[in-house]
Chains A and B, each alone.
Chain A
Amino acid sequence: MSNIDRNARLVDLRNVTRTFPTEQGGFTAVDRVDFSIEAGEFVAIVGKSGSGKSTLVNLVAGIDRPTAGTVQVAGVRLDTLGESDLAAWRGRTVGVVFQFFQLLPTLTILENVMLPMDFCGTLPRREARARALELLDLVGVADQASKIPSALSGGQQQRAAIARALANDPPLIVADEPTGNLDSHTAGAVLELLGRLTRTGKTVLMVTHERDMSQTIDRTVTIVDGKIAGETAGGPEAAATEVVAHV
């Protein structure tokens, strides 16, 4: 596991703006945001639909690039990397968990987890397989390793997706509404799993709508119209109260 200094800034966004061209002119999804996350934090991003939360996490994960400002993650300024280097960097530094799991349908669960190690050349095949099995065991779906994704339930698929995100032992896990497609019981289990990761030294940045997460979330950032409207310690439940007051 990575050795992260819990007091160091793992994510640092400075005056970041992201504008999308549309037929009606530019649409600013993220507007001059300054934002940072320290290593080992579990940060939740909340906000209404279209507020810019997903754009913000995409910028952090190197999935998208800012129109202005700088994004620095794990000591690397992302604007200095080309697309290919960015992909390789992301594979090693960021584990991404999607709302719809995005497991590759023609690969088994085990192979899905091995895939990042294959692309990044992290481990030889045999060791990669052992690590993948270990990660699947960690998330509780080791017994499903040889199945293809469509044979698993949504919760099992999301657990496998989390295992995949951990494959290259990245310091940062970015999750975009990872429980958005799950029932409340399964969603709770997935959040619990992500919370456990922070206790092993991982940093988690998560976009969520879940309210009852005060026990696992360190900090909640509220986005309104592309700007950070507020930050609160703890889960979104507390933040919701504050946002209502803000509005």
Chain B
Amino acid sequence: MFSVRWHKLIGDVRAEAGRAAVMIVAIAVSLVAVGAVLGAYAILTREIAVNYLGTRPASATLELSNGVDAALLQELRQGSIVSEAEARDVILARARVGDEWRPLLLFVVDDFDDLRLNTFRRESGAFPPPEGTMLIERTAVGMLAAAEGDAVLVKTPSGSPVSVRISGLVHDPGLAPAWQEREGYGYVTRATLARLGEAPVLHELRIEARDRPRDIASAERAALEIAGWLGARGHRVHEIRVPPPAEHPHQRQMTTVLILMLAFSGLALVLSATLVATSLAAMLARQVREIGVMKTVGARTSQLVAMYVVLLLAVGAVSLVLAVPLAVVGARFFSSAAATMLNLTLTCSTLPWWVFATQVAAGLVVPVVVGSIPIARATRMTVRETIDQYGVSPDTVRARFAALPMPLRNVLRRPARLGLTLGLLAAGGAMFMTAINVSASWEKNLAKIGETRFYDLEVRFRAAEPATVAARVARVPGVTHVEAWGYSPSAIARPGQIDVVRTYPDRGHGSLIMLAPPPRTTLVRFPLRSGRWLVPGDSGAVVLNHSAAAQVPNARLGDRVTLSLDGAPTSWVLSGIVEEIGSPAVAYVDTESFSRAAGTGTGARMLRLATSARSAGERIAILRRVEDALAEAGASVEAGIPLAELRTAIGDHIVILIRSLLAMAAIMAIVGALGLASTMGSSVVERTREFGILSTLGATPKRLKRLVLAESFFIAGPSYALAWVLSVPLTALVDGLVGNLGFLAALPLVLSHTAALEWLVVVMTVSFFATLVPATRAGALTVHDALARL
């Protein structure tokens, strides 16, 4: 049975049910955010290990010029230089989808029944795929607009279009989702590859280094060692591809998103706890006399402190009861969405104990820590101090404020509480606006893709085609401008070493290409970070985009940069660095120098076209006409890509971050609005007796209402200004974080008018209604009733 003091506490909570509800909701909302993010982190960390690491990712892929034969494979497997080896090949083919050809990565597997590295799992259909058929990755169904049993027209670089039936689906957790990369993933046997017109040779030697390197530098060293071993046995290795060890291709993005979300939700919790502290302070302010009475009848300070700490613990406990189940739902929802982004299959959605423990600790400890300040202040007052308070707030206004209008003087009566309220609102508002600003920054960054590129279509050839193809394409209806560009995969070359590219088996992440635009190209115009863009006759000069520059961090303008072209080192003078959003690492060189270095003569490896198309459909139609014209000219097209695909691919990569930020903005809005409502409400309720006095002096209810509304706007206004000011550096910070994550460049700073307006509406609406209700109630009290209040 409860002792009397606990009955008192329960009675207090009943009497202040609204305030208690605000405290509980504020803490619960934050705990849901904290729990959901932590839970998602726990689930994803575990599932990435189960899914991605479960595929036994190769620590390196070595590209052997003459292919990997069975004898070499056997020697490697039996020897001690690697712990596992497998031969594979990856062909960039094309698949016909409706009117367009889409990129299709064909993974060629030697033995589907003996997958050792970069394994994948059958989802449905025939496994291994019968000859003449292919398996596709489950996320490629949409990209290829085809399902199991359907036939797809496939064209490999050396072959003619062949209809290939999809014999089943696989799940390959080592690959980013196909819809994100805007390409299809197919799996075929060597026999099928031969049917498609390619030599059935597997050029990739995938290996797992003996010591399982933990970082990319060690992985590179191990791969180079093996390349040396192979070289000594007459096997020429012309490229090595090393992915970051044990790291999913999109793991960095996901980790950053989760850390960002955790930071936001942690701040939301601190804000909520501050809200609890201000609410408690208001509650204690009304109970000052009761505290005095309790002390008079024998209550020790420690007993009173214990009472209010228990109150906070109860608030935390009730919040936890509400928050934990919702956090579990949130964690599962978030991890499920993230799993879709990472191409994972969630094998288990159970949350580990430490997620609950952290939530419980946060829910119970944080409010008590923050609430300890008002508790200490209220319970340490002497009895005389408490009984000296007569209901009219004892807080005095400093003499220098005497000339200010009355509502403003009232606001300044409690500087500490005013500071806390302003801080709470400003932080909530700043985070709300930051979330929306970053979202707008992201959109602006995506828009840069179109603002710096003035072509609609890109066509790549398997080998250099005669310059006349450009003229031919220029005559295709709808094409307004054509430029022939040099193009070649490349790598930062190190003297005496084989090229090492830090990329995944899909070759899309971390690669470097060399492009040679014609002099005075009109199809791209990238902003310069340093140096200058290429000029006609710029022999031996290279301009790196910022992603490429990041691969040679010590290079300065005028330095020599060595880039390999087809395994051969070529030397260039660094003339400039440009910012290029939405592109892999690119080295731009002048056409003549490229032709010499790559040995392509006057031929073109790539065409970039501007068109008159006004819609995606028109663009596809023009692309088809272009491809037909090129086919007639006998050109071997490797890929034809609308620029819009690039924007879609990048947008899809980070959509989860933007949605998460907006969810956080909503949470901040809730916490901020609750804080404002609570503070405004308290400020009015506490002064009921004062209003009674004002009434006796002739103040009408309307006048009183106007007074408190003016006060509320004197708090809301500065808090809004402060929030906006705070949101600027905060937005810049998050822009930097997110931009560097996605593009190695900070997002452009955008201060969204929508965000500013939305927060203004929230702040003004909430302060109006939060004040109006208690002000109306106070105004409606008779003078007698008002004076009877404490």
Interface residues of A (CB under 8 A from B): 58, 61, 63-65, 83-85, 87-88, 90-92, 96, 98, 102, 104-107, 111, 114-116, 118-120, 125, 164, 167-168
Nearest opposing residue in chain B for A111, CB measure:
B4
Are A107 and B4 neighbours in the complex by a CB distance under 8 Å?
yes
Instruction: State A67–B1 Cα separation when bound (angstroms).
Output: 44
Instruction: State A132–B295 Cα separation when bound (angstroms).
Output: 19
Instruction: State A98–B390 Cα separation when bound (angstroms).
Output: 14
Nearest opposing residue in chain B for A161, CB measure:
B293
- Chain A residues within an 8 Å CB radius of B225: none
Are A106 and B3 neighbours in the complex by a CB distance under 8 Å?
no
> Interface with A: B10-18, B32-40, B703-711, B766-774, which one?
B10-18
Are A106 and B8 neighbours in the complex by a CB distance under 8 Å?
yes
Instruction: State A64–B12 Cα separation when bound (angstroms).
Output: 27
Nearest opposing residue in chain A for B299, CB measure:
A119
Instruction: State A115–B7 Cα separation when bound (angstroms).
Output: 10
A158 to chain B, nearest CB (A): 14
Is B83 interfacial (CB 8 A cutoff)?
no
Instruction: State A164–B4 Cα separation when bound (angstroms).
Output: 13
Interface string of B357-394 (1 = CB under 8 A from A): 00000000000000000000000101110010000000
Are B11 and A107 neighbours in the complex by a CB distance under 8 Å?
yes
Instruction: State A120–B3 Cα separation when bound (angstroms).
Output: 12
Nearest opposing residue in chain A for B11, CB measure:
A106
Nearest opposing residue in chain B for A108, CB measure:
B7
Given contacts A104-B8, A125-B3, contact A90 B384 (CB under 8 A): no
Interface residues of B (CB under 8 A from A): 1, 3-5, 7-8, 10-12, 14-15, 289-290, 292-303, 380, 382-384, 387
- Tell me the dominant secondary structure on chain B's binding face: helix
Q: Which of A64, A65, A87 contacts B295 (CB 8 A)?
A: A87
Instruction: State A88–B292 Cα separation when bound (angstroms).
Output: 13
* Known contacts A118-B4, A125-B1; 10 further A-B pairs (Cβ under 8 A): A84-B302, A87-B383, A90-B296, A98-B387, A102-B289, A104-B294, A105-B290, A106-B10, A107-B11, A119-B300
B385 to chain A, nearest CB (A): 9
Instruction: State A47–B719 Cα separation when bound (angstroms).
Output: 51
Instruction: State A114–B298 Cα separation when bound (angstroms).
Output: 12
Are B12 and A106 neighbours in the complex by a CB distance under 8 Å?
yes
- Chain A residues within an 8 Å CB radius of B294: 104, 115, 119
- What are 18 A-to-B residue pairs whose CB atoms are below 8 Å? A84-B301, A85-B300, A87-B299, A87-B300, A90-B295, A92-B298, A96-B297, A104-B294, A106-B10, A107-B7, A107-B8, A107-B11, A115-B297, A119-B297, A119-B303, A120-B298, A167-B297, A168-B297
Nearest opposing residue in chain A for B14, CB measure:
A106
- Chain B residues within an 8 Å CB radius of A168: 297-298
- Chain A residues within an 8 Å CB radius of B300: 84-85, 87-88, 119
Instruction: State A92–B300 Cα separation when bound (angstroms).
Output: 12
Instruction: State A65–B293 Cα separation when bound (angstroms).
Output: 17
Given contacts A64-B384, A106-B14, A119-B294, contact A87 B4 (CB under 8 A): no
Instruction: State A92–B299 Cα separation when bound (angstroms).
Output: 10
Nearest opposing residue in chain A for B8, CB measure:
A107
Instruction: State A105–B669 Cα separation when bound (angstroms).
Output: 36
Are B296 and A63 neighbours in the complex by a CB distance under 8 Å?
yes
Instruction: State A42–B4 Cα separation when bound (angstroms).
Output: 31
Nearest opposing residue in chain A for B16, CB measure:
A106
Are B5 and A118 neighbours in the complex by a CB distance under 8 Å?
yes
Given contacts A84-B301, A91-B298, A115-B294, contact A63 B383 (CB under 8 A): yes
Are A87 and B8 neighbours in the complex by a CB distance under 8 Å?
no
Q: Which of B1, B5, B15, B382 contacts A115 (CB 8 A)?
A: B5
B307 to chain A, nearest CB (A): 10
Instruction: State A118–B304 Cα separation when bound (angstroms).
Output: 12
Nearest opposing residue in chain B for A97, CB measure:
B296
- Chain B residues within an 8 Å CB radius of A119: 5, 294, 297-300, 303
- Chain A residues within an 8 Å CB radius of B301: 83-84, 87
Nearest opposing residue in chain B for A64, CB measure:
B384
A236 to chain B, nearest CB (A): 24
Instruction: State A92–B298 Cα separation when bound (angstroms).
Output: 7
Are A111 and B296 neighbours in the complex by a CB distance under 8 Å?
no
**Which 9 A/B pairs are nearest by Cβ-Cβ distance?**
A91-B298, A106-B11, A116-B297, A84-B300, A119-B298, A64-B384, A118-B4, A63-B383, A120-B298
